[in-house]
């Protein structure tokens, strides 16, 4: 029972020791390493290769240290356990030798102690020394001080360490004590050799880790160096260069593809911006030239010539109105491109909006036959003002490019999930070649879209943006001299009781 209690104490104190070791390793050391790296990084600039190698080397070193400590502790425990078993066996053998002889068999005990490398001391019942094998020098009195009747390690007078054991023995005149001490020099030698081997192994492993880790990290990060050089070679005026993703098969490939996609979007935006600026400059150049021409005309002769004055004022007013409309459209599209154009989304009656647009078209135009077939209770969720603006753009185009006496139809239909609006005319139409480009900014077909008709080529782009913002679609059916049909599809707003949202 005492033996198990002693082993339990050993396990308890060993567990406490291991707990504090682990706490130091996993709490304080990582915190110290993290603060140290942060301190160094603020003052020195290191490459990713260096940081990665140092980080993983530290982690690898800590793991090796823990493994080495565990192996050494386990080896020490095994050696101590084996010595414990051996000294208990020695005690039993000596006890048997004493029991087999009527007198104390000193020669046998001495020979056995010499073979086993132990020191044996025998006391009688009065603690008087009966026998001392002589391997360990002792002072007077009991040769070795024992406070516990169990195995323990204590420093001797020569500052060496011994494993001590004591037990009772039956002598001729009563019960005495056998005290045995085993020198642990050999075991300590094994442990020292093991510690030296472990330290050498850890140091060698760290050196190999640093060498292999730095080379591996540098090889893994080589595509990043290539990306950096390629990115430096890209300028705003030359966006055609792309990163090579052939040799990448991991996250770096995804990053390169993302970077290439970003370059493509930037290139398209720059090209669109250049075209936009060029077309806007071209559109503004003509009215400015006209205004300057009429201003010069007024300066020379307009003050005395009433006809020249009236003509100049009318022309300047027309061109100013055109420039105002153009600038407003440009500002609208610029706001839309920056996603700053706000939509006030709320349910409203599309039927009422179409009736309103139909009445306004009839009021401002009397040269065409304008008719409509509009279903009742057409509801959509959207910005009423913007949708009305888009309808006006399509209706104005039909009025401009349909000869006097022509027919324009505005129809509206509703379905279970969608509403459909059609604007149809029998005007000049749009050629098949021009049809795919009519929604491009500043695009003008030779016949169907001309400056004389007053268009700047931005209205259809604005209308298309408005419809798309309402998750709708536009389809155009037209051909030269065959008229044009615009089909607009918008999501219907389902009211309560009809599977409403």
Among residues 470, 499, 501, 410, the alpha carbon closest in space to that of 489 is found at 470
Angle at alpha carbon of residue 400, lines to 399 and 402, rounded to 5°: 65
Give the mean model confidence (pLDDT) for residues 280-305. Answer: 74
More confident residue, 446 or 260: 260
Long-range contacts of 126-133 (CB under 8 A, 24+ apart): 127/177, 130/104, 130/171, 130/176, 131/104, 131/106, 133/109
Q: What is the pLDDT of residue 36?
A: 67
Strand partners, 455: none
Q: State residue 128's pLDDT score.
A: 80
Q: How confident is the model at residue 434 (pLDDT cuts 50, 70, 90)?
A: confident
Buried residues in 42-62 as b, exposed as e (16+ CB within 10 A): eeeeeeebeebbbeebbebee
**Residue 346 has which token pair?**
């709320």
> Residue 121: enclosing H or E segment and its boundaries?
strand 118-123
- Among 117-121, 316-320, 336-340, 476-480, name the one with the lowest average pLDDT: 336-340
Domains of the chain (ranges, CATH numbers) = 251-337 (1.10.287.130), 346-491 (3.30.565.10)
| Cβ(457)–Cβ(279) below 8 Å | yes
Q: What is residue 423's three-state secondary structure?
A: strand
The mean pLDDT value for 291-300 works out to 78
Which residue stretches of 101-124 are H helix? Answer: 106-116
- 449 pLDDT exceeds 70? no
- Give me the DSSP letters along 320-384: HHHHHHHHHHHHHHHHHHTT------EEEEHHHHHHHHHHHHHHH--SSEEEEEE-SS-EEEE-H
Based on its alpha-carbon atoms, the radius of gyration of the chain, rounded to whole angstroms, reads 50
With a threshold of 0.75, does the pTM exceed it? Answer: no
C-beta atoms surrounding 135 within 10 Å: 16
Q: What is the pLDDT of residues 354-380, one digit of tens each?
A: 999 999 888 888 899 999 999 888 899
Partners of 97 in beta bridges = none
Could you tell me the two tokens for 465?
Answer: 């943006």
Number of helical H runs and strand E runs in the chain: 11, 12
Relative to beta strand 369-374, strand 407-414 is parallel
- Identify the pLDDT of residue 37: 66
Count other Cβ atoms within 10 Å, centred on residue 270. Answer: 13
> Is residue 474 predicted with pLDDT exceeding 90?
yes
Residue 377: which of 497, 473, 486 has the closest Cα?
497
**42-93: pLDDT as tens digits:** 655 566 777 777 788 888 888 888 888 888 888 888 888 888 888 888 888 8
Give me the pLDDT at residue 157, please.
31
Question: Among 413, 405, 435, 411, which Cα is nearest to 423's?
Answer: 411
What would the pLDDT profile of 124-169 be if each residue is shown by its tens digit?
Answer: 877 788 888 765 544 333 333 333 333 333 333 332 467 777 888 8
Return phi, psi of residue 172, to 5°.
Answer: -70, -35
- Residue 224, pLDDT score: 76
> Which residues, 6+ apart, have CB-to-CB distance to 405 below 8 Å?
367, 368, 369
pLDDT band at 475 (very low <50, low <70, confident <90, very high): very high
Q: Which residue has the higher pLDDT, 281 or 412?
A: 412
Angle at CA 43, nearest 5°, toward 40 and 48?
A: 65
Q: Look-up: residue for tokens 């005990």?
A: 109
For 257, list phi and psi in degrees, rounded to 5: -65, -40
Distance between CA 2 and CA 91 in Å, rounded?
17
Percentage above 90 pLDDT, the chain = 12
The whole-number average pLDDT for the span 181-196 is 82
Q: Is 265 left (phi over 0), alpha (psi -120 to 50) or beta?
A: alpha
pLDDT confidence of residue 154: 38
User: Measured between alpha carbons, how far is residue 433 from residues 279, 438, 448 in Å?
Assistant: 21, 10, 12
Q: What distance in Å separates the CA atoms of residue 397 and residue 483, rounded to the nearest whole number?
A: 12
Taking the C-alpha atoms of residue 482 and residue 472, their distance in angstroms, rounded to an integer, is: 26
Query: Cβ(344)–Cβ(387) under 8 Å?
Result: no
Separation of alpha carbons 468 and 99, rounded Å = 108
Closest CA relative to residue 99, chosen from 83, 122, 115, 119: 122
pLDDT at 265: 82
pLDDT digits over 206-255, tens only?
888 888 888 887 777 777 777 777 777 776 666 777 777 666 556 777 77
pLDDT of amino acid 447: 44
The token duo for 57 is 């080397």
Check residue 133 and report its DSSP letter. -
The answer to whether the Cα torsion of 263, 264, 267, 268 is positive or negative is: negative
Residue 8's pLDDT band, with cuts at 50, 70 and 90, is: low
Structure-block tokens of residue 14:
């060993």
**Phi, psi (deg, nearest 5) at residue 42:** -70, -25
Write down the mean pLDDT value for the chain.
77
Whole-angstrom distance, CA of residue 254 vs CA of residue 250? 7
Q: Report the Cα 295 to chain-centroid distance in Å.
A: 62
| 19-23, 29-33, 176-180, 194-198 — most confident range | 194-198
Give the span between the Cα atoms of 476 and 485, in whole angstroms. 6
């Amino acid at each position: 029972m005492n033996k198990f209690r002693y082993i339990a104490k050993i396990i308890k104190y060993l567990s406490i020791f291991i707990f504090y070791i682990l706490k130091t390793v996993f709490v304080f050391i990582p915190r110290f390493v993290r603060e140290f790296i942060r301190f160094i990084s603020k003052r020195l600039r290191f490459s990713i290769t260096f940081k990665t190698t140092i980080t993983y080397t530290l982690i690898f070193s800590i793991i090796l240290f823990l493994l080495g400590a565990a192996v050494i502790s386990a080896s020490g425990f095994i050696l101590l356990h084996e010595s414990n078993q051996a000294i208990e066996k020695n005690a039993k053998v000596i006890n048997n030798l004493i029991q087999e002889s009527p007198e104390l068999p000193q020669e046998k005990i001495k020979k056995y102690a010499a073979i086993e490398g132990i020191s044996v001391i025998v006391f009688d019942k009065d603690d008087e020394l009966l026998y001392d094998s002589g391997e360990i020098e002792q002072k007077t009195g009991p040769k070795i001080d024992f406070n516990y009747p169990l195995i323990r390690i204590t420093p001797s007078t020569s500052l060496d360490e011994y494993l001590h054991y004591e037990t009772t023995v039956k002598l001729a005149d009563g019960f005495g004590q056998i005290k045995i001490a085993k020198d642990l020099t050999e075991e300590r030698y094994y442990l020292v050799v093991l510690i030296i081997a472990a330290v050498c192994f850890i140091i060698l492993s760290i050196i190999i880790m640093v060498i292999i880790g730095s080379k591996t990290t540098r090889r893994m990060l080589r595509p990043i160096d290539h990306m950096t050089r390629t990115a430096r070679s890209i300028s705003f005026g030359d966006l055609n260069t792309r990163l090579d993703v052939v040799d990448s098969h991991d996250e770096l490939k995804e990053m390169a593809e993302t970077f290439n996609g970003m370059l493509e979007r930037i290139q398209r935006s720059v090209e669109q911006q250049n075209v936009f600026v060029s077309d806007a400059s071209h559109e503004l150049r003509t009215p400015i030239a006209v205004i300057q021409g009429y201003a010069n005309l007024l300066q020379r002769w307009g003050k005395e010539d009433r006809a020249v004055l009236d003509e100049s004022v009318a022309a300047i007013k027309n061109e100013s109105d055109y420039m105002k409309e153009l600038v407003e459209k440009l500002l609208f599209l610029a706001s839309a491109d920056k996603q700053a154009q706000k939509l006030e989304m709320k349910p409203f009656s599309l039927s009422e909006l179409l009736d309103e647009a139909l009445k306004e078209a009839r009021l401002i135009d009397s040269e065409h036959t304008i008719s409509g077939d509009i279903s009742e209770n057409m509801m959509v969720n959207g910005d009423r003002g913007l949708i009305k603006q888009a309808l006006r753009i399509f209706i104005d185009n039909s009025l401009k490019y349909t000869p006097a006496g022509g027919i324009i139809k505005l129809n509206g239909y509703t379905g279970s999930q969608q509403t459909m609006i059609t604007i149809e005319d029998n005007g000049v139409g749009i050629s098949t070649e021009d049809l795919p480009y009519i929604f491009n900014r500043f695009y003008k077909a030779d016949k169907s879209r001309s400056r004389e008709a007053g268009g700047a080529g931005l209205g259809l782009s604005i209308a298309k943006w408005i419809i798309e913002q309402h998750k709708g679609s536009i389809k155009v059916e037209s051909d030269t001299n065959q008229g044009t049909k615009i089909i607009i599809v918008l999501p219907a707003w389902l009211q309560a009781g009809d599977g409403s949202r």
